[in-house]
Amino acid sequence: MHNLSDNVRGALFMSISMAGFALNDATIKLISGELGFYQIIFLRGIFATLLIGLLLRQRGALFYLPSRRDAGIMAVRAAGEVGGTLCFLTALFNMPIANATAILQALPLAVTLAAALFMGEKVGWRRYTAIAVGFTGVLIIVRPGGEGFNAYALWAVAAVGFIVLRDLTTRRLSAGIPSAYVALSSSFVLTLVGGLLALTVPWPPVSTSALAMLAGAAGFLFFGYLFAVMTMRVGEVSFVSPFRYSVLIWAILLGLLLFGEVPDGWTLFGSAVVVGMGIYTFYRERRVKEESL
């Protein structure tokens, strides 16, 4: 590993991170027929929060005290995290994993657009065009009004909106606040919300195997986060970032192997459009930064 260049290591870390997130999604989708929706969020959240808490304890940052400003921003960020998770899991449990994952890949395009509209970031006509074409790719995947339309795809689209809120508020946090502390606060709030909502519905019995799978899902989620952080510490962001789309490959493979889901031609075409425009946007952002130096 040490003999690899920083860019190659970063790309490898990003691919491992995306595999972790995809395995988390596949695992909780597997047990969605056995346990309740809120029950899954609550139980997985307990495991995930404990893992992140142990990481923070090891780094001596478990009792970090954020400023009043950062605490307010983290509250808004947590709301975005909760909304994004609830919407995405609703989609994931009711449609093919590859389709739900593909729609979520419009996130970089949506963040770029929102940053231009609400944060005053300069975006040229090339990136605006890429965003428009990328959103067209999402429409191809969703196909509203078409024969293969699944209304739950709209929940995945809504998840993109909530995650944009999460990511934009993250940019406003102070540079000194530990990333794991931010993740811990969001995980705690999500777990709390899942637990409160679980009180409103029947609580199915939890088998040992289901509990083990939830612990595994939390582990996959934790390693996905850990390798995502490691990714940002090596390699060039413009080189490494496109490898986030490897999550689609994992989602397609897991959907095929675990659920017998075979994406149709339109889904694959729409996914290619979204990924292509996302990669082009990363490329243009790098070019703009280079020209401004």
Residue 217 domain boundaries: 6-292
Residue 45 lies in a domain: yes
Residue 65 lies in a domain: yes
Backbone angles phi, psi at 149, to 5 degrees: -70, 135
Question: What's the pLDDT at 284?
Answer: 78
Let me know: does 98 contact 261? Beta carbons within 8 Å.
yes
Residue 203 lies in a domain: yes
Query: Does position 87 have pLDDT exceeding 80, yes or no?
Result: yes
Which one has a higher pLDDT value, 39 or 286?
39
Q: Above pLDDT 90, what percent of the chain? A: 62
In order of 201, 261, 268, the CA distances from 249 in angstroms are: 35, 13, 11
Half-sphere exposure of 162 (CA within 13 A, CB side): 18
Let me know: does 274 contact 102? Beta carbons within 8 Å.
yes
Residue 262 lies in a domain: yes
Question: What's the pLDDT at 232?
Answer: 66
Give per-residue pLDDT as tens, 219-269. Answer: 999 998 888 877 866 767 667 878 889 999 999 999 999 999 999 999 999
Confidence of residue 129 (pLDDT cuts 50, 70, 90): very high
Q: Which of 167, 169, 241 is nearest to 17 (CA)?
A: 241
Question: What's the pLDDT at 293?
Answer: 58
Query: Does position 61 have pLDDT exceeding 80, yes or no?
Result: no
Question: What's the pLDDT at 1?
Answer: 52
Domain total of the chain: 1
Residue 157 lies in a domain: yes
Return the residue matching tokens 């994004």.
Answer: 84
3-class secondary structure, 201: coil
Q: Above pLDDT 70, what percent of the chain? A: 94
The letter for the amino acid at 287 is R
Confidence of residue 180 (pLDDT cuts 50, 70, 90): confident
Residue 55 lies in a domain: yes
Residue 1 lies in a domain: no
Question: What's the pLDDT at 237?
Answer: 67
Question: What's the pLDDT at 3?
Answer: 55
Residue 186 lies in a domain: yes
